[in-house]
Amino acid sequence: MTQETINKIKNDPSFQELTTKRRAFAIKLSIAMLVVYFSFILTIAFNPSTLGTPLSADSVTTVGIPVGIAIIIFAFILTGIYTKRANGEFDDLSNKIKNNLKDN
């Protein structure tokens, strides 16, 4: 790829829109995951009895197990959300950039 082609892509308004939207969306999802994960870690650090409480009187399973599983499921859900948007809106913008490059 030549420097001229790279400059055309960088100056394309669709490319700038794509990078801005993708970055903002990725930051939002990352912050959501970090808040959930660090809340879990901080709870373990400063109030371990909360997650160490048994689910019932006769149970050996603690509250921490389903909470940990929920965090893993939350990560999968965020991945699915990002993938759905990437395969829709972000791919459409990428194709628009490619078409603009072909036309010029």
Confidence at residue 8, expressed as pLDDT on a 0 to 100 scale? 86
Q: pLDDT (tens digit, 0 to 9) for every residue of the chain, 104 residues total? A: 788 888 888 888 889 999 999 999 999 999 999 999 999 999 999 999 999 999 988 989 999 999 999 999 999 999 999 999 999 999 999 998 888 888 76
**Can you give the pTM of this predicted structure?**
0.82
Alpha-helix residue ranges (DSSP H) falling in the chain: 3-11, 13-46, 48-52, 64-85, 91-103
Residue 18, number of CB atoms within 10 A of its CB: 19
